[in-house]
Chain A
C-alpha cells in the first residue's frame, strides 16, 4: 500500500474540504450577489453580470440622498442600542438574582419567562397597538424600545442566569472575604466571567432589534421614526421597485451586525472561566 504524503494542491482534495467549500459557497452566494449588485450601476441591477462593471456608488448615494436612509439608520441605531443596553442591565440583575440569590418561586419565574419568550409577536400586536395609542407612545423611540425590551429580555435572562450558575460560588465568597461588597463582587468578579453570556445575549438582542419588522411597521410608521427594515420596504413607489437602492441599503444595514459578530466572536465561543477551579 502506498503511504505517500500528498503534497501541493492535492492535499486539499478530500471529502471534508470539498463539502465545507460547497456549503460555504451555498451560504455566501446570496450575500455576494447582494453586495455585487449594490455596486452595479442602477441599470445593470438584475442582469447576469457577475462582477459590477463599472463599479458604481449611485445606489448608495440614492439611498441616502433620494430616500431618508440616514434617518432610518439613526432610528435603528438608537432603538437597538438603547434596547440592548436595557436588556443587558436588567438581564444581568435578574440573571444574577435567579441564578444565585436564595429566593422563592425561581422555577416558576423561569418557566413563565420561557413561555413569554416563545409567545408569537403577532398575537399581542393589536392590544399593544391600542395600549400605545392610549398612552400616546406611537411614533416615538419608546414605542419600540419598551416592547422590544419586554420581548427580548426573557431570552437574555435565561442565558445570563445559566452563566451565573456556572460561576463557582466560592469565587464570590472569596470576594466577600477579600472585603468586596455585593456590587463590587458583581462588577469585579461575576461580570467579567459572565462576559461570554453578556456578548451572546447582547448580539442576540442587537440582531433581533435591528431586523424586527412587524412592531416597527405598526408602532413607528412616520418617516421620522422608521427603522431600517420598514424604511427599506417602503423604498420606491407604486409602479417601480428600486432594487439597486434596496440592495445598497441592505448592505449598509448588514455592516453593524457583521462588525459586531466579527469583533466579539472570540468572546462568544471561548470559555473565559478556564483555570478558575480545578479542571
Chain B
C-alpha cells in the first residue's frame, strides 16, 4: 500500500509528440483515482509511465514517497489490468493468477492458498482449472483482476478494463471493481474515456485534455463547479448546453441570441467577478436537468426553444431544441462525429415524463438560474470569485 505522486511529469516521444505535459497529481493511499479524457489525451501514457512501461522524459514519479523514475515495473510493486486482459492463453486460470507469485519463488502451498483466496474474492473458484478460452468475457475480466490482486501490490493500475464488456455487464463489473478496490484498500489509478465510468467509480477524477491537466476533484465538484469550458462540456451526459452570450450593463441580465434572461442578485453575489464582464461576451452553461418545463404563470427566468426531437426514457423526456444563439463546442470534449451532429444553436433539456410536448412545438423552459455556469470566452476559465 502506498501513495502515488506525479510531479510535473512529461512524456515526449521520439517523433517529438508531447503526450503528457507537466502533469502533477497526488493520489492518496487507498484512493480510487480516475484519469479521464477524450482519446489521445495522454491518460494511458500517464498510466504506463506510472507502471514503468514507458520512460519518463522529465519530472518525478514517487510511489510510497520514494522516487520511482528508474525502477523496473517489478521494483515498483504495481499490478496492472489491461483493456484486452492479456491473459496467458496457454495457462489455466489458477496458473494465470499464480504466475507472478511463481516468479517470486513462493512455496507451492502458500501460492495455492493465495490463488484460492483471490479466486474466492472474485467468485472464480469453480473455474480454476479452465483455460481463458473457455471463459466468458466477464470471467476473463475477473481473472485479469485476480492476477492483479493476488500479489497484494502497493498500487493498482487499470487501463480501460471494462471497455470490452457489453453494456449490461459493464455496469455490473463497475460495481464489482469498486467493491474489490474497497476491500483491498490499495491506491488505484483507473483510466477511462467514459465520463460516466469516471463519475460513478472515482473518489476523485483527473480530467486530461491533449496531455494537459484540466481539473482534479471529486465527481460532484467536477459536475457542479467545472474549472473551464472543456470540463463543463466533457463531464455530464447528456452534455451541458453551452452558448455564447453577452452580459448586459451591471450584469443584470444576459443576452442569449434574441432572448434576454434576467440575472437575479443571488447570481451576482455568488460570482462577483461577473460584474466586470458587463458589456462583454461570455460562455454560459446550463445542465439539461436545470431546464425544466416552465410552469403555467412562471415568473422566473425562462428560455424559449423550438423542439426538434424528443427521446422518451420512461422516467423523463430528453427534449432537443434549438435557439438562435451560438452553441459552443469545446474542442475535444465531444468526438468529431458527435460534434458534427450537434446542430447550430441546439440544446438539450430533461423534463418530466408527463410534460405535454411534441416535435415542432415552441416550448418554454424554466431556468434554474443559480446553477447556471459562466466562462470567459477568451480563456475558457470559469467566472466565479
Closest to A169 in B: B86
Total contacts A to B, CB within 8 angstroms? 84
Whole-angstrom distance between the alpha carbons of A98 and B34 in the complex? 36
Interface centre among A176, A195, A277 (most CB of B within 10 A): A277
A8 within 8 A of B: no
Residue-wise interface mask of A (64-79) relative to B, using a CB-CB cutoff of 8 A (1 in contact, 0 not): 0000000000000000
Interchain CB contact under 8 A, A192 and B90: yes
Interface-facing stretch out of A25-33, A35-43, A117-125, A268-276: A268-276
Whole-angstrom distance between the alpha carbons of A178 and B133 in the complex? 21
Interchain CB contact under 8 A, B137 and A278: yes
A82 within 8 A of B: no
Given contacts A178-B100, A275-B132, A275-B135, contact A171 B88 (CB under 8 A): yes
* Cβ-neighbour of A179 out of B87, B103, B133, B164 (below 8 A): B103
B78 within 8 A of A: yes
Whole-angstrom distance between the alpha carbons of A174 and B53 in the complex? 10
Closest to B101 in A: A178
* Cβ-neighbour of B164 out of A174, A276, A278 (below 8 A): A278
* Cβ-neighbour of B132 out of A168, A176, A184, A276 (below 8 A): A276
B99 within 8 A of A: yes
Interchain CB contact under 8 A, A278 and B104: no
Whole-angstrom distance between the alpha carbons of A168 and B89 in the complex? 11
Closest approach, in angstroms, between the C-beta of B65 and any C-beta of chain A? 21
Whole-angstrom distance between the alpha carbons of A170 and B164 in the complex? 15
Interchain CB contact under 8 A, B164 and A176: no
On chain B, the number of residues with a Cβ less than 8 Å from chain A's Cβ atoms is: 32
Closest approach, in angstroms, between the C-beta of B92 and any C-beta of chain A? 11
Interchain CB contact under 8 A, B73 and A177: yes
CB neighbours (8 Å) of A116 from chain B are none
Closest to B144 in A: A174
Interchain CB contact under 8 A, A193 and B89: yes
Interchain CB contact under 8 A, B89 and A273: yes
Whole-angstrom distance between the alpha carbons of A128 and B163 in the complex? 58
Given contacts A179-B100, A278-B137, contact A174 B89 (CB under 8 A): no
Interchain CB contact under 8 A, B82 and A272: no
Whole-angstrom distance between the alpha carbons of A180 and B79 in the complex? 13
Interchain CB contact under 8 A, A278 and B133: no
Residue-wise interface mask of A (11-48) relative to B, using a CB-CB cutoff of 8 A (1 in contact, 0 not): 00000000000000000000000000000000000000
Interchain CB contact under 8 A, B80 and A184: no
CB neighbours (8 Å) of A170 from chain B are 82-84, 86
Interface centre among A180, A188, A272, A275 (most CB of B within 10 A): A275
Interchain CB contact under 8 A, B84 and A193: no
Closest approach, in angstroms, between the C-beta of B82 and any C-beta of chain A? 4
Interchain CB contact under 8 A, B86 and A272: no
Given contacts A274-B89, A276-B132, contact A177 B84 (CB under 8 A): no
Closest approach, in angstroms, between the C-beta of B102 and any C-beta of chain A? 9
Residue-wise interface mask of B (95-107) relative to A, using a CB-CB cutoff of 8 A (1 in contact, 0 not): 0000110011000
Interchain CB contact under 8 A, A168 and B73: no
B142 within 8 A of A: no
CB neighbours (8 Å) of B151 from chain A are 178
Interface positions, chain B 137-174, Cβ under 8 Å from A, are 137, 140, 147, 151, 164
Whole-angstrom distance between the alpha carbons of A173 and B78 in the complex? 12
A189 within 8 A of B: yes
Whole-angstrom distance between the alpha carbons of A174 and B78 in the complex? 11
CB neighbours (8 Å) of A177 from chain B are 51-53, 73-74, 78-80, 100
Closest to B73 in A: A177
Given contacts A168-B84, A174-B80, contact A272 B103 (CB under 8 A): no
* Cβ-neighbour of A176 out of B74, B88, B134, B147 (below 8 A): B74
10 cross-chain pairs, A with B, having the tightest CB-CB distances, nearest first = A275-B133, A170-B86, A178-B100, A277-B84, A276-B89, A275-B132, A179-B74, A192-B90, A278-B164, A170-B82
A195-B90, A276-B85 are known contacts; what are 6 more A-B pairs with Cβ within 8 Å? A171-B87, A176-B73, A188-B99, A189-B88, A272-B90, A276-B89
Q: Taking beta carbons and an 8 Å cutoff, which residues of B are in contact with A?
A: 51-53, 72-74, 78-80, 82-90, 99-100, 103-104, 131-135, 137, 140, 147, 151, 164
User: Can you list 29 residue pairs at the A/B interface with Cβ under 8 Å?
Assistant: A168-B86, A170-B82, A170-B86, A171-B86, A173-B53, A173-B80, A173-B86, A174-B82, A176-B72, A177-B51, A177-B52, A177-B80, A177-B100, A178-B103, A178-B147, A178-B151, A179-B73, A179-B100, A192-B88, A272-B89, A272-B90, A273-B89, A274-B133, A275-B134, A276-B86, A276-B132, A277-B84, A278-B84, A278-B140
